[in-house]
Amino acid sequence: MNPVTKAKDFRVNLAQHPTKRYTRRPLEVITHLAVHHSLTTSGSAKAFANYHVKNNGWPGIGYHYVIEKNGTIIWCNDLDLKTYHVGKGNRYSIGVCMVGDFRSQKLETAQYEALQYVLKRLMAEFSIVNTHVLGHSEYPGYAWKECPCIDMDTVRLSLEKNEVKKAKAYRGIDYNCAKHYIFNPNVILVKPGETVMKVVSGINHLEPGDVRIQDKTLPLEKNVVEPVAIKLVNENEQIPNQVRQLVSRMRLQEYTVFTDDSKPYNLNLVGMRKDRGTVNQFDDKLFVFWKYHSIWSLREYQITTDPGLPYLQDPLNPAGTAVLKEGQYRGAYRIGKHRNKYSALVQAKPVTVYRDNDLDGMIDLSGMREQTGFFGINIHRATASGTSVHVNKWSAGCQVFSKSDQFEDFIKLCKSSASYWGNSFTYTLLSETI
């Protein structure tokens, strides 16, 4: 079986640091491949990503690919990202990690075949010679490292020297691909003598309708003469960067992201709280994003997630002014009337707030008391027309829009959503700084 059919594009699914990013490099500097093992008897790209982000504080997972024991290839990072895996060698190498501890474990055949497939394909794409395919411990300064603990000479021998020559063939049909598609599980190669339909239907999870072919003149049922690359419809390429980042932040915290795109307006409502240094400003954001027919849409609104100054200095509630705690509140909102006046999202289930009662006019949540319950923490607008500049009494803890037209747009989306998915909304509040 062609291992590429077992490849998965997880670039947007893995944990990412909230702020740090790997730097980009020109693809031309890539001259080496680095082979690792995970040094763990089991594991997954997801687990390694969590570890690299949470424990090491890295921007994301250190490897470009992870190969699971059953041979599944997980694509983890754009190849032009200079990730962390071989120190000074990071600049010019691509990192491939096999799940396993090969000090004690044996390399499974499926895993070894997938490794060879990845290495060959990358050698071809980047014109890398087999002497530049190195184990981690063969990189400068890493002789002490027990990685990958497989015989790299055997690996190199198994890689034909003419992979580089084949590269020209690949390049010739390089589908005008963006850099992300240099190695793309969503691109399938049809070899001379095969038909497009045969190859496509041979891949179990694909229907002909899932295939987007660059060359519209290509006959689907006739044998091709020259190799042809067909590109599969891949939702990931259509994810706006901002959505990618929000989704990855949400997944890092194990929050639900609504992705059922069978009906329109399956909304994700995500507040992003800026640092708490400034009060009384509408300096936070509310993102609304949803997927329909594989295409993501995104709206960004200016809001405050924090109460205004007057209430911080003089709380309505003797326990202190409510500040909504970061978290995901499943189904906690519905369309109702804010103060019995106009349509807004009103609280329908308990939420958790901090109580700020030190009356210093600042928001400092360390050591604050938490309360969970019904506090009328709604999502509504400030001024009925135009823009409100200061929060003041517009918020005693509610999530409040500064611009009336943005709010109208928002509530319209919510109403559309309610007609398809019911009058229930999940609100997720994230912090720009964790």
Q: Which residues are at the interface with Zn ion (CB under 5 A)?
A: 36, 136, 147
Question: What is the bridge-based pairing of β-strands 379-381 and 399-401?
Answer: parallel
Closer CB to Zn ion, 49 or 377, in the complex:
49
Query: In the complex with Zn ion, which residue's Cβ is closer, 73 or 239?
Result: 73
| Closest separation in Å from C-beta 102 to Zn ion | 11
Signed CA dihedral, 275, 280, 281, 285: sign only: positive
Which of 269-298 are b and which e, b meaning 16 or more Cβ less than 10 Å from the residue's Cβ?
A: bbbbbbebeebbbbbbbbbbbbbeeeebee
Q: Kindly state the smallest distance separating residue 58's Cβ from Zn ion, in Å.
A: 14
C-alpha distances (whole Å) from 295 to each of 64, 243, 269, 276 are: 26, 11, 17, 34
User: Interior CA angle at 313 toward 310 and 319, to 5°?
Assistant: 115
How many distinct helices (H) and strands (E) make up the chain?
Answer: 8, 20
* Closer residue to Zn ion, CB minimum distance, 11 or 85: 85
Q: Which is nearer to Zn ion, 93 or 305 (CB)?
A: 93
Question: At its nearest, how many Å lie between Zn ion and the CB of residue 9?
Answer: 23
Q: How far is the CB of 7 from Zn ion (least distance, A)?
A: 21
Task: Give the shortest CB-136-to-Zn ion separation in angstroms.
Answer: 3
- Closest approach, Cβ 92 to Zn ion, in A, equals 16
Smallest separation (angstroms) from Zn ion to the CB of 286 = 42
Q: Of 102 and 292, which CB lies nearer to Zn ion in the complex structure?
A: 102
Q: Alpha-carbon distance 136 to 39, whole Å?
A: 12
Cross-strand pairs, 74? 8, 66
Minimum CB separation from Zn ion for residue 145, in Å? 6
Q: Which is nearer to Zn ion, 138 or 326 (CB)?
A: 138
Whichever of 86 and 303 has its CB closer to Zn ion, that residue is 86
**Residue 148 or residue 308: which is nearer to Zn ion going by CB?**
148
Number of neighbours of residue 421 by Cβ within 10 angstroms: 17
Q: CB-based contacts of 296: which residues, under 8 Å, 6+ apart?
A: 235, 238, 239, 240, 243, 289, 290
CB nearer Zn ion, residue 14 or residue 247: 14
Residue 49 C-beta: closest distance to Zn ion, Å:
16
Q: For residue 337, which amino acid is it?
A: K
397 touches 375 (CB < 8 A): yes
399 contacts 301 by C-beta, under 8 angstroms: no
Type of residue found at 288: V
Residue number with CB closer to Zn ion (145 or 180)? 145
Give the tokens for residue 201: 């239907």
Q: How far is the CB of 95 from Zn ion (least distance, A)?
A: 8
- Greatest Cα pair distance, the chain, in angstroms, is 80
| Minimum gap (Å) between residue 301 Cβ and Zn ion | 44
Sequence-distant (≥ 6) Cβ neighbours of residue 232 within 8 angstroms? 186, 187, 188, 206, 210, 211, 212
Handedness of CA 214, 217, 220, 226 (dihedral sign): negative
Q: 147 or 335: whose CB is closer to Zn ion?
A: 147
CA 393, 399, 405, 406 dihedral sign is positive
